[in-house]
Amino acid sequence: MTGPLFRLLFRLSALLLAAVCVSAPAFAQPLPGRPAGPETDLNMVVALDRSESVDLAERTAQNESLAAALTDPRFMAAVKGGWQGRIGIAVLTWSSFNRTQVVVPWTVIAERRDADAVVAALRDYQARGGDVEHRPQTDIALALGAGVELLDAAPFPATKRILNVISDGIDNFGREAFVDRDEALAHGITINGLVHARGSAIPIVERFFERQVIGGPYAFVLSTPTPESFTGAMLRKMLLEIAAAGRSSRPDGSGSLRVPAYRPMRG
């Protein structure tokens, strides 16, 4: 093929190629309203109680138990076993009078070094005395509301969203927790609880969490009857949540489960 026809076809091909090259980056952009980061198997917010009833030893135990769970080989194996092989995590502290603080901003955990970075941020917060601004009362509705806001602000999409509320007591300040619980469920968020009450308070706090706090597909509350059991319970909770992320969701919450007692995990 020669002459004017060849030159015309050549120019048309060049124009088409240029159009493809110019428009191609648009396909790489995230959809409007969608987070821009890599997708995770789940996004998790851990909300740590910093009310007056949680003393310094218990606050330290919360941080160190979370650190031990995040760096446990079983946790990392569970993360890598997901469809995406990574999860998103953020940690906040809460008490009352609108006192909340993001201790660990959104971080993707895909490797041990990612978990180490979260642990370093937890320990830095504790070393700086970050809890000094918290107030004495226990406002679990505040924890739920702050957790939902943080999950909605996650910079990467997830197939499942979980809010963990960790506390040693029931509400004694603010509005009824179930109001914010129901709002969280409307956002498609599953709420789990980790109770570290002692003695006769355990069943009281468990019942409160079951009725007013937890909810969503495969939701559960896990109790730690002794300080020594807290680390194992934190790890167990994390493994249950990662495992549940691989199950099909049930919008009516009919897959919810209750984990009534701590049992030591075999190493």
CATH number, domain containing residue 178: 3.40.50.410
The mean-pLDDT minimum among 63-67, 131-135, 260-264 falls in 260-264
Please determine, for residue 16, whether its predicted confidence score (pLDDT) is greater than 70.
no
* Measured distance CA(58)–CA(10) in Å, rounded: 75
229 vs 71, which has greater pLDDT?
A: 71
Tell whether 54 is covered by a domain: yes
The pLDDT value recorded for residue 231 is: 84
This prediction has a pTM of 0.77
CA distance 110 to 114: 7
Least confident among 43-57, 77-91, 136-150, 152-166: 43-57
Q: Please enumerate in sequence order all residues whose Cβ is within 8 A of that of 55, keeping only pairs 6 or more positions apart, or say none.
A: none
Residue 78 forms part of a structural domain = yes
- pLDDT at site 135: 58
Q: Which amino acid is at 244?
A: A
Q: Would you say the C-alpha torsion 160, 153, 44, 55 has a positive or negative sign?
A: negative
Is residue 28 very low, low, confident or very high in pLDDT (cuts 50, 70, 90)? Answer: very low
Domain count, the chain: 1
Distance CA 149, CA 143 (A): 10
Q: Check residue 247 and give its pLDDT.
A: 59
In a domain, 261, yes or no: no
Q: Is residue 129 part of a domain?
A: yes
Q: Which residue has the higher pLDDT, 131 or 118?
A: 118
Q: What is the average pLDDT score of the chain?
A: 78
Q: Kindly state the DSSP code that residue 220 receives in the 8-state scheme.
A: -
Q: Is residue 256 part of a domain?
A: no
Q: Helices (DSSP H) in 48-132: which residue ranges?
A: 56-70, 73-80, 112-127
Residue 198: pLDDT band with limits 50, 70, 90 = confident
197 part of a folded domain: yes
The Cα–Cα gap between 74 and 81 comes to: 10
Q: Which domain holds residue 172?
A: 43-245
The answer to the question of residue 56 being in a domain is yes
Confirm whether 32 is domain-assigned: no
* E strand map for 81-180: 87-94, 100-109, 161-167
- Residues sharing a CB contact under 8 Å with residue 205, sequence separation 6 or more, in sequence order: 167, 168, 169, 170, 195, 197, 223
